[in-house]
A = this chain, B = another copy of it.
C-alpha cells in the first residue's frame, strides 16, 4: 500500500507517519520507484503499537523509541528485552522525591522480596518503585505486615501467572507490546476494580439491609 493508505489504516495524520519513518520508529517501505515505496501489514501493526504506546499508555516518545529498539534488537534474550521494555514505563525515578543511585540498597523491598521467595536485584526498576511505595505506607502509619505481604503476594502472583500464560507464543513485537501495554494499562484497571470491590464488600458488611 502507499504511505497515504498506511496513514489512513492507522488513523494517523500523514505528517506523523513521515515523522515516524524519519525517526526510524517505522521501518522504510519497499522501494517500487524513485519516489514511491510500498508498505505492508507489518507497517500497519507497528503503527498500531506506536499509537498504543503514545496515546493509550501516554509514554514519552523517547521511551517509545527505547521499547521499539528492544523489539528490533535480536541480540538480547527475550527475558532481558522484557525487563528493559517494562523499565521504560513510569513511574520514572526522576519523578520521585528519592532518586535511587547505582548500587543503592532498598531495604524494605529486599525484605519483602526475600519473604516472598523472589530474587532481589536492585537493577530491576520495579525494586526502587516498591521501596518508595513501602516507605509511603510506613510513613502513613499503615506499614506492610508479614501477613498482608503473604496475602497480597499470593493473589498478585496468581494474576501475574495468568498474564504470562496469555503472552503471545511468538513474535518479539507482539510479546514485548503485550508485556509493556499489559503492565501499564492493566494497573489502573486493577486499582479501579480494587476500589469497587472494597465498596461492594463494605456495603454487604455495613449496610446489610440496603
Residues of chain A whose beta carbon lies under 8 Å from any beta carbon of chain B: 48, 52, 55-57, 77-79, 82-83, 86, 91, 109, 112-113, 118-119, 124-127, 129-130, 132-134, 136-137, 139-142, 144, 148, 151-153, 155-164, 166, 178-179, 181-183, 185-203, 205-207, 210
Subset of 14 A-B contacts with CB under 8 Å: A52-B140, A83-B202, A118-B196, A118-B200, A130-B196, A140-B185, A155-B155, A155-B158, A157-B197, A163-B198, A164-B202, A183-B195, A187-B194, A190-B191
- Kindly list chain B residues whose C-beta atoms are within 8 Å of the C-beta of A158: 151, 155
Q: Does A182 contact B142, Cβ atoms closer than 8 Å?
A: yes
- Kindly list chain B residues whose C-beta atoms are within 8 Å of the C-beta of A86: 195, 198-199
Q: Does A181 contact B133, Cβ atoms closer than 8 Å?
A: no
Q: Does B206 contact A79, Cβ atoms closer than 8 Å?
A: yes
Q: Does A79 contact B188, Cβ atoms closer than 8 Å?
A: no
- Kindly list chain B residues whose C-beta atoms are within 8 Å of the C-beta of A113: 196
- Closest partner residue, chain B, to A130 (CB atom): B192
- Kindly list chain B residues whose C-beta atoms are within 8 Å of the C-beta of A52: 139-141
Task: Give the docked Cα–Cα distance between A205 and B55 (Å).
Answer: 31
- Closest partner residue, chain B, to A58 (CB atom): B136
Task: Give the docked Cα–Cα distance between A200 and B121 (Å).
Answer: 11
Q: Does A190 contact B152, Cβ atoms closer than 8 Å?
A: yes
Known A119-B203, A207-B77: A140·B57 in contact at CB below 8 Å: yes
Q: Does A142 contact B196, Cβ atoms closer than 8 Å?
A: no
A127 nearest CB across to chain B (Å): 7
Task: Give the docked Cα–Cα distance between A166 and B77 (Å).
Answer: 43
A110 nearest CB across to chain B (Å): 12
Q: Does B202 contact A129, Cβ atoms closer than 8 Å?
A: no
Known A192-B129, A201-B161: A207·B79 in contact at CB below 8 Å: yes
Q: Does A136 contact B185, Cβ atoms closer than 8 Å?
A: yes
In-complex Cβ contact of A195 among B126, B161, B196 (8 A): B126
